[in-house]
A and B are shown apart, each in its own frame.
Chain A
Amino acid sequence: MSTNLQFIKSESADNVSSFTITDIFSDSYDVYQVYVTGNGSSSVSSLAAEFLDSGGSDIAQGNYDTAIRRLDPSSTFSSPNTESANSFEYVYPSSTDNDFASLITVYNPYETEYTFATIQSMSNQGSKAIAIAKSTTSATGMKFYANQNYTPIVVSVFGVK
């Protein structure tokens, strides 16, 4: 049997301002698909994430670069790119109580080289982005932030063979 997409883990939480999922990256895969769905609660402009090492520390604090195309169905598109940030934005629920869905494809997180990601999302606004964690530290997990609460957040991780 072909085994091109392999389920690793799915976890969820409700009414949390941050959510950590551990032990998702290993030497078993080079590429991962991380599906993130939920609700960003109220008054949330954007939601962000970062990569964690095995001790739970951010692997690239102050070293995330992101190029983003923010796709607003009701306004001019924008590119809120960032350099040397503490995390990377992955979806834009805008400022109201909106559900969201996002796919973050992660490349080489476990290797001791830079970790890359491509992102495509939809909520009140859509987005497409590339992100890099400029760190050679091996990542084994991810942390997701909301400036209010996730109500809820569901993270499902797959390895790509």
Chain B
Amino acid sequence: MVGPTSFGYQVAGFGGGTAVSLGSLELIDTQSVSSAVCDFTSLGDYDIHFLTFFDIEVTTQTEFGYRLSDDGGTSFETGYAFANQRGNASGTFDERKSTGQNSARILGDLTTASTSRGSGYVYFYSLGDSAKYSFSTSHATFMQGTTYTMEFGSQAYATASTINGIRFGEGTGVTALTTGTFSLYGIKES
């Protein structure tokens, strides 16, 4: 098995596409996209979801993030709060935040340079609970051209709604990425 490591454990292998149980960490789906957004519309019955993204490439210098859907992916909501800390190996640390952006930002200013690929993870909370806001926390690592950069932060969709779809893409419009590989897991409490 190959795959990224998060919090000191190997989470899963990419490219499976079938249900894989890693104890309480259950792979829902893996998708590799090319010139497309990445939609997950079968989220299963979990209180907590875990997502890894790998080798994100964008069409222009922009940010990478997600939108949520409460109608199975027919439409995707706007109006997200986020607060992210971005740090460059060159020594600059920036605050990136909003109380009402059209997308939830995970990382930003990824460039189109050949080395500018982004990878990381996101935890989602309470997506399927109609009475609760949807929260996420994230941590990403990427190159801005030749500059090593990381960005971590937290995101919220502050509307109580039953979320049953997630779209990942570039820019605040969450549009088609050049490439990217995504694995979505549910965390089973049994």
Contacts and interface: CB of A to CB of B under 8 A. Distances in A.
Interface of A: 1-7, 10, 31, 33, 35, 37, 69, 71-74, 76-77, 98-101, 103, 105, 118, 120-123, 125-128, 154, 156, 158, 160-161
B140 to A, nearest CB: 13
A105 B7 contact: yes
B23 A3 contact: yes
A160 B23 CA distance: 10
Nearest to A37: B125
- Nearest 7 interchain pairs by C-beta: A126-B154, A71-B83, A101-B125, A122-B154, A122-B135, A5-B25, A3-B23
Interface stretch (B59-67, B94-102, B170-178): B94-102
A125 B25 CA distance: 27
Given A4-B11, A72-B97, A103 B137 contact: yes
Given A77-B97, A126-B153, A128-B152, 14 more contacts: A1-B21, A2-B21, A4-B11, A4-B23, A7-B23, A7-B189, A35-B47, A73-B83, A77-B85, A77-B95, A100-B135, A120-B123, A126-B82, A154-B47
B146 interface: no
A99 B82 CA distance: 15
Interface of B: 1, 7-11, 21-25, 47-48, 81-85, 95, 97-99, 123, 125-126, 132-133, 135-137, 139, 152-156, 187-190
A122 B156 contact: yes
A99 B84 CA distance: 19
Nearest to B133: A99
A5 B9 contact: yes
Contact of B81 (A2, A73, A76): A73
A10 B189 CA distance: 7
Contacts of B48: 35, 156
A128 B1 CA distance: 30
8 contacts: A2-B22, A73-B82, A73-B97, A101-B125, A123-B135, A126-B155, A128-B152, A156-B48
A72 B153 CA distance: 10
Nearest to A35: B48
